[in-house]
A and B are shown apart, each in its own frame.
Chain A
Amino acid sequence: MQVSSNIEFICPVKTNAGKKGLDHIPIELKALNAERPIVITDQETANKGLSKHMINAFKDSGMHFGLFEGVPKTADVKTIRNLSQKFLYKGFDAIIAMGGGAAMDVAKGLNMVVSGTPEDLKLLAGIDKIQHRLKPFIAVPTAWGNGFEITKYAFIESKAYASHHLMPDLVVIDPVLFKAPDTKLMVSSAMIALTHAIEACIHPNGNEFIDCYAHAAIQHIKTCFPKALTHPKDKQANAGIGQAAAMAGCAFSNVHPGMIHRLGKAAGTMFNISSGICMGILLPYGLEYKLKKNKALVSKLFHSIADFDERAQTSPGAQQQKIIQYIKKLQNNMADATKKTLPLTLQQADISKNSLAAIAQRAIDNGLSMDKDECLKVLTAAYDGKSIA
């Protein structure tokens, strides 16, 4: 019996995307049997004046809510504790997080505490420790984040949590919230989304169901990213990247993080560069390495990136080159849009060559199952900006 041939997929997240999406939140809350939410957001989102859109969405809904605009730059236990007291004292019954990664992490932490006990923040750290459904949780991305917003992961101080129960019941992507973007952050977010989606497609435990989310994410990047780069004020295009990030997060939550993700995250954390930029640098080299190792992945990956005409017209032999070309073209678009300030190699990102081994080691320590020398091959190629030796 080969039980391993079985596949598994779950995405507990409902997606509401597009014009006036925010205005559907009250009725969605009602469907989740909630009517008194707490909205939490970070200073930056609040400073951009985005809270007023949430208030507008609740006008005429008959619902009241609590608004907390003080989520710090990274999620911390103190904020969660304070919020949980507020939550219980005021009798809230749902959480809406608006903003980037920190707001989502605080919301996930808060949800563990208010659905259980304060000790849960300690007890539930790790993988799949949560046994019960948590309270209704709606995620409203407003800006570019770390790519973990719409995933099963939460990071609070030094602890990591992973469970499908942490995923939001609903993600709302409303173009009205995607204004005044920071191009570099947007690029970082798009690259994380693309990396997550691509690595989900070629993951050995991948399946058709994961591909549906991954393909939709990649198509959003293809359609919206070039436009968002040349027209930074185009809200639709920018919201498209947010959409891609959410869909990629759903795919990513069904597989183990891949090599490019791990190496990019390690490099980003060690050198204080946004990890999306690092993933973007690593993407062509990492893919080249993977495709060399396993030729069967070429057509799979080409399938996810190319449209029907390209797929019908490109011979199998030419596919690999086209994939790498496509990614490099994207990188050049990004470089142009950022007036060449965006690094395209690890060297340009001011990472020293002799720290590559440390990056590899850190990625391995974080769970990357790959030989260190092999990691170094990819990192070296990405450092030099040359094909893998």
Chain B
Amino acid sequence: MHIPGYFEFCCRVKTLAGHNALESIPEALAQLQAKTPLILTDKGVAGAGLIDIVINAIKDKMTIGSIEDDIPPDSDLRVVNHLAGVYREKNCDAIIAVGGGSVMDTAKGVNIVVSENADDLIKFCGAGAIKRPLNPMIAIPTTSGTGSEVTLVAVIADHEKNRKMLFTSYFLLPDVAVLDSRMTLTLPPFLTSSTGMDAMTHAIEAYTCLAKNPLSDTHALAGIELLSQNLLNVVQNPDDQEGRLALAKGANLAGIAFSNSMVGMVHTLGHSIGSVCHVPHGTCMSILLPYGLEYNLHKNSEFVAEVLYPLAGPEIFAKTPKNQRAEKVIEYVRKMNQDLYDATGGRHSRCFKEVLNRDGKQMVTKEDLPKISKTALGDGSIFYNPEELDYDDCMMVLNAAWEGTPLNRNKIKKG
């Protein structure tokens, strides 16, 4: 076990998980002294019929203040203020957020406005500016990937002033995260695969990057095991409820792990490709994960080797000699990507040249790589990567990840 000289760990979110976990919401809200929730979601989630499931699970036991299902993917301050108005008008006393990152961020913003009675959110911007518990909030994720139901960060854009506001505070953690297999049951296979690998990346980076600690480690290992044992199977059998629940738990555990240990260069480069070329986050993560591991291997092979057990299971672990386990992890991740590629009929990309948009055009071209590298140098996650990463290093990794060829490990600068 690795015990760092000092660490902090915190996840105050109550977890409810199961095939009928939604039914526990009224009781959970009652414990939080709330009676009238405002349900927030987006059109995609509502269109998939997921809100109906939530409503059916709770409507007999409580009054729903309002259901607002038009949070746009690029939600901003205007949307937050509008929804805060609805919250007040309908006398709501809690928020139930159903969806992915954008919905969660918006819901957190609304909660700051209504709890602090804030007319200007900028006052609460930055690290630790929110100092009091906010009103009750329940988060229901609808993909098994981002882990945003357990993060203490919210990003809200202000399109009018052309700025992004970043909020971090333990009080931004939702009070309850509800993981219900019904919420992810209809997620299409290729989204299941990329969001699943997103979660896998959270867990593996959490376990192998600089800010790991004993508690983030146990969460990461548990997450890796659940995700690895179930991901391919669920992609092949989307109706597998047990598998869906396992993925949801795995993604949640991975989210808890990385929000306490931070992540490294897979995220550094992934965020940048996302912002420059708009490639979905999960796709970036699945492609880059083996490269991040390869790049840092001379610094953290001991930790990477340990990942083999939860990732590949006891037989492969026992069969692989100790000094080859770390390499085996990389090989195994590549094989997972290949298996997912096959299982999704090629929709799960293995390298960036394979990533196509709706019109069948390449989303990342070789000409984009310099700009991506430049952006990467300004991403905060670069601090937590075990090895230094400069512009040339980024270019080398990106070139390899674009082609889909393994890194030449002799070329990695070691200092």
Interface residue ranges, A against B (CB under 8 Å): 1-3, 5-21, 24, 30-33, 131-133, 207-209, 211-213, 215-216, 219-220, 222-223, 236, 240, 243, 247, 308, 311-313
Contacts and interface: CB of A to CB of B under 8 A. Distances in A.
A302 to B, nearest CB: 11
Contact of A220 (B20, B169, B214): B214
A225 to B, nearest CB: 12
Contacts, number: 124
20 contacts: A3-B23, A7-B15, A9-B14, A11-B12, A14-B170, A16-B8, A18-B6, A32-B131, A208-B226, A212-B222, A212-B253, A212-B256, A216-B215, A220-B3, A220-B214, A223-B1, A243-B214, A308-B306, A312-B317, A312-B318
B366 interface: no
A152 B133 CA distance: 20
Contacts of A211: 218, 222
B215 A212 contact: yes
Interface residues of B, number: 46
A212 B315 CA distance: 23
B165 interface: no
Closest 6 CB pairs of A and B: A6-B18, A18-B6, A14-B10, A312-B318, A10-B14, A33-B131
Contacts of B249: 208
A312 B219 CA distance: 20
Given A31-B128, A308-B306, A9 B23 contact: no
Contact of B15 (A5, A8, A12, A21): A8
A5 B19 contact: yes
Given A2-B20, A14-B12, A211-B218, A33 B318 contact: no
B365 interface: no
A85 B328 CA distance: 63
A9 B330 CA distance: 33
Contacts of A17: 6-9
B166 interface: no
Nearest to A207: B17
Given A9-B15, A17-B7, 15 more contacts: A7-B16, A8-B14, A8-B17, A10-B13, A11-B11, A11-B12, A15-B8, A16-B6, A17-B6, A24-B8, A131-B31, A131-B33, A208-B249, A215-B218, A312-B309
Nearest to A131: B33
A162 to B, nearest CB: 14
B309 A5 contact: no
B20 to A, nearest CB: 5
Given A212-B253, A308-B309, A18 B317 contact: no
Residue with the highest number of chain A CB atoms closer than 10 Å, among B5, B8, B20? B8
Nearest to A247: B215
A8 B16 contact: yes
A5 B18 contact: yes
Contacts of B14: 8-10
Nearest to B320: A312
Interface in B208-227: 214-215, 217-219, 222, 226
B4 interface: yes
Contacts of B4: 18
Contacts of B169: 31
Contact of B7 (A6, A8, A10, A18): A18
Contacts of B1: 219-220, 222-223
Given A7-B18, A21-B6, A223-B1, A216 B128 contact: no
Contacts of B17: 6-8, 207
Contacts of A240: 3
B6 A208 contact: no
Contacts of B20: 1-3, 5-6
A284 to B, nearest CB: 23
Nearest to B28: A8
Given A6-B20, A18-B7, A131-B33, A213 B12 contact: no
Contacts of A219: 1, 214, 218
B218 A216 contact: yes
Interface string B206-250: 000000001101110010001000000000000000000000010
A213 B215 contact: yes
B116 to A, nearest CB: 12
Nearest to B223: A208
Given A6-B17, A220-B1, A208 B222 contact: yes
Contacts of A216: 214-215, 217-218
A382 B6 CA distance: 39
Contacts of B6: 16-21
A31 B131 contact: yes
Contacts of A14: 8-10, 12, 170
Contacts of A220: 1, 3, 214
Nearest to A7: B17
Contacts of A10: 12-15
A2 B181 CA distance: 13
A15 B309 contact: no
B9 A15 contact: yes
Contacts of A6: 16-21, 23-24
A18 to B, nearest CB: 3
A236 B11 CA distance: 25
A15 B5 contact: no
Nearest to A167: B12
Interface string B128-139: 100111000000
Contacts of B306: 308
A31 B226 CA distance: 34
A168 to B, nearest CB: 12
Contacts of B219: 212
A134 to B, nearest CB: 11
Nearest to B33: A131
Contacts of B72: none
